[in-house]
């Protein structure tokens, strides 16, 4: 009986922590995505300096998240996000509007996919 309770308790803790991590990743990625939406508007209106500043602030926030996310996520995903941030910064620095928008779209896609890949679904487990 005692071992059954221990197994059930362990399973509940495992599921609970998985749901908590998925929720934290979803909320933190949402905050970054909100800032990237603002960057898109700034690039569209050719406000390059403001866009660059917002990207830098968002990147600073991302580096803090990166340390926490690296515990739970595949590092190749995190590396792709990092590379995309670097490209976006350079495109904005040199005022390449079409490249900036394309890279911003890529970065947004990558950040949207992270919470989807971490949700507790049968196809993510198998």
pLDDT (tens place) for every residue of the chain, 126 residues total: 789 999 999 999 988 988 898 889 989 999 999 999 999 999 999 999 999 999 999 999 999 988 888 888 888 999 999 999 999 999 999 999 999 999 999 999 999 998 887 766 656 555
**Which fold, 2-125?**
1.20.120
Note the pLDDT of residue 120: 62
Sign of the dihedral defined by the CA atoms of residues 31, 106, 63, 56, in that order: negative
What is the distance between the alpha carbons of residues 20 and 14, in angstroms, rounded to a whole number?
10
Note the pLDDT of residue 32: 94
What is the distance between the alpha carbons of residues 116 and 34, in angstroms, rounded to a whole number?
17
What is the distance between the alpha carbons of residues 73 and 81, in angstroms, rounded to a whole number?
12
What is the distance between the alpha carbons of residues 89 and 45, in angstroms, rounded to a whole number?
17
Spans of all domains in the chain? 2-125
What is the distance between the alpha carbons of residues 77 and 70, in angstroms, rounded to a whole number?
10
Q: pTM to 2 decimals?
A: 0.86
């Amino acid at each position: 009986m005692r071992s059954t309770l221990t197994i059930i308790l362990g399973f509940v803790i495992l599921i609970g922590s998985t749901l908590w991590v998925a929720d934290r990743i979803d909320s933190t990625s949402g905050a970054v995505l909100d800032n990237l939406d603002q960057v898109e508007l700034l690039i569209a209106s050719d406000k390059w300096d403001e866009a660059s500043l917002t990207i830098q602030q968002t990147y600073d926030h991302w580096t803090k998240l990166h340390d926490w996310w690296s515990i739970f996520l595949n590092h190749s995903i995190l590396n792709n996000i990092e590379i995309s941030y670097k490209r976006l910064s350079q495109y904005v620095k040199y005022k390449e509007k079409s490249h900036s928008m394309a890279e911003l779209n890529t970065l947004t896609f990558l950040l949207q996919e992270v919470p989807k890949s971490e949700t507790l679904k049968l196809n993510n487990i198998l």
